[in-house]
Amino acid sequence: MDNPKKPVGKTNLVVVIPAYKVSRHILPLIELIGPEVSRIFVVDDACPENSGSIVQQHCSDPRVEVLRHKVNLGVGGATKTGIQAAIVSGASVIIKLDGDGQMDPRLIPKFVEPITLRKADYVKGNRFFSVEHINTMPNNRIIGNLILSFYSKLSSGYWNVLDPNNGYVAINSEAARNLPLEKISNRYFFESDVLFRLNLLRAKVVDMPMKSKYASEISNLKIIPTIFEFSFKHLKNFSKRIVYTYFIRDLNLASLQLLFGLGLSMFGFTIGAHGWWNAYRIGETTNTGTLILTAMCILSGLQLLLGFFSYDMSNVPRETISSDLSGDAED
């Protein structure tokens, strides 16, 4: 395994920018990208404003290459296209910036540093680190992102990270090559889906405090519909992660806590409901024995489940992945 204290060799930094309705912001964004970046892939995701053509016509930066989608695939689909191109180009670290100008490219060296020092495989922005900065965010974004953050912690297993829908990220190319990109969501669930897949790879993820700029740009993310849509997807990923981590890859005390916790809780609720219904039918109160058995099973089950989640929260990957991965992120 790589020594986490040993820096990687010469880094080849590549930036990926999904472009959809960002014609007013993308040129100033590219101008702020520093010389440490070797290539910039702008992915025109069938943009109705022809953002890709605007970049080709008005940007003279030789590092920039425009990729085009004939059909809109969403921010995830555009990012995946850019990641694939970056890998082919020989990138050692891939940085993804949104094209709306909310993300400061001058932070790129800070995002890249934990990866080059082997302290992280994936670095993601966190807009909730500073209380002062939170006060500048729109209220609907604060509430929505906090709810989505909890969902993401549950489904991905990265209990130590926040702000999962933040699109400012940097990833080690070794981890990127082992992500099953064809299975990852094309649209706004992309960031959360990537975290889920990274956990299956046991990749180390860290947060990077940052600020976002909120000006005239219009977000295409609708918070309330997104919360309902994401709930099912997070539940699906949570179920996959639990089965894979605690029953296929390993079987340990936490696995038994989960099994017996669920079993005792369900048994307690079933016995209690059955006893209450029978007593209700004949017009009597539920007998003391049934009540005691129900309470004991439910309380014991909940205690075991709390023990499982306590273990799960401490089971966050803490070492960077090695270079000899073999597709552990597959279903």
What pLDDT is stored for residue 133 in this prediction?
Answer: 59
What pLDDT is stored for residue 7 in this prediction?
Answer: 45
User: Residues 297-310: pLDDT tens digits?
Assistant: 999 999 999 999 99
- pLDDT confidence tier of residue 81, bands split at 50, 70 and 90: very high
- pTM (two decimals): 0.86
Rounded to whole angstroms, how far apart are CA atoms 208 and 302? 35
Domain ranges of the chain: 13-238, 251-314
Rounded to whole angstroms, how far apart are CA atoms 81 and 67? 8
The strand pair at 93-96 and 13-19 is best described as parallel
- pLDDT confidence tier of residue 285, bands split at 50, 70 and 90: confident
- pLDDT confidence tier of residue 142, bands split at 50, 70 and 90: confident
Q: What average pLDDT does this structure show over 71-99?
A: 96
- pLDDT confidence tier of residue 331, bands split at 50, 70 and 90: low
**Mean pLDDT score of the chain, rounded to an integer?**
88
* Residues facing 205 on adjacent strands: 122
Rounded to whole angstroms, how far apart are CA atoms 146 and 128? 9
Q: How far apart are the first and last CA of the chain?
A: 24
What pLDDT is stored for residue 1 in this prediction?
Answer: 38
Q: What average pLDDT does this structure show over 138-145?
A: 71
> Is the predicted pLDDT of residue 324 greater than 80, yes or no?
no
> Is the predicted pLDDT of residue 247 greater than 70, yes or no?
yes
> Is the predicted pLDDT of residue 321 greater than 90, yes or no?
no
User: Residues 188-215: pLDDT tens digits?
Assistant: 899 999 999 999 999 999 999 987 665 5
- pLDDT confidence tier of residue 58, bands split at 50, 70 and 90: very high
2-6, 42-46, 218-222: the lowest-pLDDT one: 2-6
H or E stretch at 239: helix 223-243
What pLDDT is stored for residue 10 in this prediction?
Answer: 56
> Is the predicted pLDDT of residue 253 greater than 70, yes or no?
yes
DSSP letters for 157-203: --TT---TT---EEEEHHHHHTS-GGGS-SSTTHHHHHHHHHHHHT-
> Is the predicted pLDDT of residue 122 greater than 80, yes or no?
yes
Q: What average pLDDT does this structure show over 268-286?
A: 90
User: Residues 170-188: pLDDT tens digits?
Assistant: 999 999 999 999 999 998 8
Higher pLDDT, 260 or 8: 260
Cα Rg, the chain, nearest whole Å: 23
Q: Is 327 left (phi over 0), alpha (psi -120 to 50) or beta?
A: left
- pLDDT confidence tier of residue 327, bands split at 50, 70 and 90: very low
138 contact partners, CB below 8 Å, separation of at least 6 = 214
Higher pLDDT, 291 or 214: 291
Rounded to 5 degrees, φ, ψ at 202 are 60, 40
The superfamily (CATH) of domain 13-238 is Spore Coat Polysaccharide Biosynthesis Protein SpsA; Chain A (3.90.550.10)
- pLDDT confidence tier of residue 102, bands split at 50, 70 and 90: confident
Q: What average pLDDT does this structure show over 97-114?
A: 94
What pLDDT is stored for residue 34 in this prediction?
Answer: 95
Higher pLDDT, 291 or 285: 291
